[in-house]
Every structure is written in structure tokens, then in C-alpha cells.
Amino acid sequence: MCKLGWSLAAVLFIAVTMMSYKFVLSGSVESIVADGDDRHALLLEPAERDLVLSEMRTFLSSVQAISEGLSKEDMSQVQKAASTAGVQAQEGMPGPLMAKLPLSFKKLGRDTHKKFDLLALDAEQLGDPQHSLQQLSELMKNCVACHSTYKIRAIQ
């Protein structure tokens, strides 16, 4: 009976490890180079694709409003714009969608949200447009890295 229990535990451990790799680490990614585009394709349902693209548009709108606020030295606008794309904006992301995204994509996205939060906090507390501009520059490196590494392919 003890051997059966250990065997069952080993099989379950292997299954959980494989599922963790598939759904947490690797996600649904395709790495086929087509038309000279060597980015990794995230394979998402159309509604999931729309949700990810909507989040990216929120990033872009926030960056535009931050840039405008910095040009006017309006740190209140900078703070408000940055906070709209912070970690709270990521809450409510559906679990099945998160399971499809590779760990590296999730880490980059989470780091980007945190950078928006830090920019908002520093804009409010420090009020230094030059510091906020430097933070925005660092944050944009995440956007460039993501768009250089990934593309989204809608699947049916």
C-alpha cells in the first residue's frame, strides 16, 4: 500500500510539474519565423487578444498624458496619468488568459505596471519633471522590449 501511495504521489508530482511548465512558464507561444518576423507569437482567442491590446493602449495613452504633463511641468497630470496604468490596472485579468502568457511576458508586464506606479508616486512626492522624464524613459524600454519580442496571433 505504501508503494502505491508513493507511486501515485510521484505521478501527480510529474503531472503538476508539467502543467506548471505549460501554463505558468511557457504559456501558449509559437516561435515560427514568418516573413522575416522572428518575434514569439502569443496565441490568444480574439477576445483575449483585444484585452491585451486594450491594456497596451492604456499604456500608450498614459505615456502621452505623462509627456504632455511633463511639457507643461504639471506634475499633478503626470501623477494621475501614471497611476491609471499602475498595478491596479492589471487586476481582474482572467486566469485562463494569464495561463496562456509566458512567464517572461508576465514579468515584463508586471514590471511595467510597477514602473508606472513608481513614476506616479515620485511625481507626487518629488515633483521633479526631470526625474519623471528619466523614469518614463526607463519605462519605455519595457515597451520596446515587449514589442521587439512578442506579437499576438488570434486563434479560433
Global pTM value = 0.80
Residues 1 and 138: their CA atoms lie apart, in Å, by: 58
Sheet holding 150-154, edge to edge: 29-30, 40-44, 150-154
Residues 77-106 pLDDT 10s: 999 999 999 999 888 889 999 999 999 999
**Beta strand segments in the chain, E:** 29-30, 40-44, 150-154
Residues above pLDDT 90, as percent of the chain? 72
How many other CB atoms sit within 10 Å of the CB of residue 13?
Answer: 10
Q: Do residues 108 and 145 lie in contact, with contact meaning Cβ atoms separated by under 8 Å?
A: yes
Sign of the torsion formed by the C-alpha atoms of 28, 42, 85 and 113: positive
Give the closest residue to 154 by CA, choosing from 112, 115, 97, 83: 97
Structural domain spans, the chain: 45-154
User: Long-range contacts for 15-22 (Cβ within 8 Å, ≥24 apart)?
Assistant: none
Quote the pLDDT of residue 156.
Answer: 81
CATH topology for 45-154 is Four Helix Bundle (Hemerythrin (Met), subunit A) (1.20.120)
Mean pLDDT of the chain: 88
